Amino acid sequence: MINLEIPKKAKTLVNQAHQAAAEVFRPISRKYDRAEHAYPTELDMLAALLDGLNTSGEGGAGAAGVRRRGDEKETGNRNGGNLSTVLGAIEMCWGDVALLLSMPRQGLGNAAIASVADDEQLERFKGMWAAMAITEPGCGSDSAAITTTATPDGDSYVLNGEKIFVTAGQRADAVVVWATLDKSKGRAAIKSFVVEKGTPGFEIVRLEHKLGIRASDTAVLRFENCRVPKENLLGSPDIDTKKGFAGVMQTFDNTRPLVAAMAVGVARAASEETKRLLDEAGISVDYDQPLATQSAAAATYLQLEADYEAAYLLTLESAWMADNRKPNSLQASMAKAKAGRSVVDITLRCVELAGTLGYTEESLLEKWARDAKILDIFEGTQQIQQLIIARRLLGKTSGELK
């Protein structure tokens, strides 16, 4: 059975992540929100500490993701690296989601490498900070419509195309690029490639100015006759039309619970700050009384808390399933959909409940409301998650339900 309580062995990690969020992230949160594109140098030492936790096997608190274990003979429940990483990400994003996305070697590309790289690649790319490049000017939520090409040429692939909205695209050491080996083969031909910075033909075009997560750089990348060694392809080079898109989509089984965890962390931050402000205003929230008997502010707050708890539990479930070698694609999308929608609703409603304090820079509530929206968009929009969930529940293919 699924046990969603925080396991004892993860409590130390959760405590350490919360301390880092409170003592490192929170104090500099507003500073780097205003100083968009400036690299937060305070993160270097913290990143080194997280590297140590990952190396020791304790699991880091960042967004790097973890590798699924393949030992099918083991029995019993496992609370492992996926759950620990999700719990750590919740705490860190309670501090600041943009700063977590700015952490060296904690990029979403690292989660992709953890998901599908072989043992040799894992060792070769160890210690590398990897961003993820999927979205294109003409391709957003429909990842299968990718037009960036990867053409075999001797012992290399030649990449041509443009990617947009690449988180940590300028700062990262490498980018995991999704490209197609053969457009006529559709989804099955899409593969992911690790492209290191400095590779000829790899250009950073510009950085975007954004609504939220301003401390994190978001780049536009161009690949023009960019030669990538064949050993930098993640997964099998074979185009298997029966397996289809499953190979590269496995990446999302790791990254979607992480993004859901980020949303849960931001939602909790806003909820706790709003509760503090309500207490100061003399508005009591009574958990033993019906909503109809309480003030409108208290009733609204209780509804937001219920929404938060649902997102939190779905997120832990998706991570637990990964740790216990269970297919979690449906649960990963459910967690991402629920947490992504909830964090937007919760932060905006918290701004309303806080009144003028919620709308000014006197509090971080307005910043969290801006940061929240991206968590409902990247790694698959709200609408795409609902579509995936519907297909899974109804047993429909992408061709049958669009």
Q: Which whole-number Å values give the CA distances from 263 to 92, 148, 170, in the listed order?
A: 11, 30, 24
- At 144, phi and psi to the nearest 5? -70, -10
* Of 340, 337, 338, 335, the residue nearest 320 (C-alpha): 335
Which distant-in-sequence residues (6+ apart) come within 8 Å of 71 by Cβ?
A: 325
CB 175 within 8 A of CB 106: no
Distances (CA, A) of 2 to 14, 72, 73, 312, 313: 20, 18, 19, 14, 11
The closest of 67, 83, 63, 62 to 10, measured between CA atoms, is 83
Neighbours of 137 (CB within 10 A): 11
Joined tokens for residue 244? 């289809």
The C-alpha R_g of the chain, in whole angstroms, comes to 21
What residues pair up with 167 in beta bridges, in sequence order? 218
The packing angle between helices 8-20 and 43-56, to 10°, is 170
With left for phi above 0 and alpha for psi between -120 and 50, is residue 186 left, alpha or beta? left
Residue 273 among the catalytic residues:
no
Residue 79 phi/psi, 5-degree rounding, is -110, 95
Which has the closest alpha carbon to 70: 287, 289, 326, 296?
326
Active-site annotation holder among 91, 136, 162, 379: 379
Catalytically annotated residues: 379
